[in-house]
Amino acid sequence: MRATGLFGGTFDPVHVGHIELARHALEYCRLAEVVFIPAASPPHKSRKHLTAFHHRVAMLTLATEGESRFSVCEVEKDLPPPTYTVDTLNHLLQKNTCATEYYFIIGIDAFLDIHTWKEYEKVIGQVHFIVAARPGYTVSDLQECIASLHYQKKVDHWYNASSKRKIYYLELELADVSSTDIRKTAGSSTLPKDAIAPAVFKYIKDHNLYSSGR
């Protein structure tokens, strides 16, 4: 069965932490591909401060073009706002004839909020999760959350017997970088070059993005 990673996020902008995470997820779960899904109108982030969708797609395209197993999916562009993960997944998976297994890639910070997602039980019944470590969060935070979702510990993952879905934890030291930090730095001084791909750096400069430092 084909294994596809789905990596949702605002990617405002995409940075090296995102790309490292996608690469590790590819290898760790032997995914055939990772599809980046920029959020058009995420319910948990203020619309006012979001960079235009086409800019975020363009930056993602530049950051992923060196890896043939990466692609960018604009499915949320045509969905009514706000764009909830459950609706995006419904849209993407409706044509799946069970020939593909989907793995949702996510940082631990975002996963710990899963109880607040619209129809989160449906989401966790549809996809496996690959959860990545992030500074400031511990595996015990994750264990507590996973137990409340009725998953059992197995050797290298947690398993939910009724949905037959798994959760993997990538306990890696990924780049300690966030899009928030990049946006702030861009406004106050110079962009942190090593936190973003050179082509993305150039795109930000050329289009004068983040100059207000929000």
Rounded Cα distance, 209 and 202, in Å: 10
Contact 80, 41 (CB under 8 A): no
Q: What is the rounded end-to-end Cα distance, in angstroms, of the chain?
A: 43
Nearest residue (CB) to ligand ATP, 27 versus 98: 27
Q: Which is nearer to ligand ATP, 12 or 76 (CB)?
A: 12
* Closer residue to ligand ATP (CB): 74 or 109: 109
Tell me which DSSP letter residue 1 carries: -
Comparison of 11 and 103: residue with beta carbon closer to ligand ATP: 11
- Minimum gap (Å) between residue 109 Cβ and ligand ATP: 5
Please report how close the Cβ of residue 183 comes to ligand ATP at its closest, in angstroms.
Answer: 7
Smallest distance from the beta carbon of 115 to ligand ATP, in angstroms? Answer: 15
Q: How far is the CB of 117 from ligand ATP (least distance, A)?
A: 12
Residue 5 or 9 having the CB closest to ligand ATP: 9
Q: What are phi and psi of 107, to 5 degrees?
A: -80, 155
Tokens 């995470």: give the residue. 21
Residues that bind ligand ATP (CB under 6 A): 9-12, 17-18, 21, 106-107, 109-110, 132, 134, 174-175, 177-180
Helix axes 53-64, 198-206, angle to 10 degrees: 150
Beta strand 152-153 with 158-160 is antiparallel
Q: Which residue is nearest to ligand ATP (CB)?
A: 107
User: Distance (Å, rounded) from C-alpha 152 to C-alpha 57?
Assistant: 37
In the complex, what is the shortest distance from the CB of residue 161 to ligand ATP, in angstroms, rounded to a whole number?
A: 26
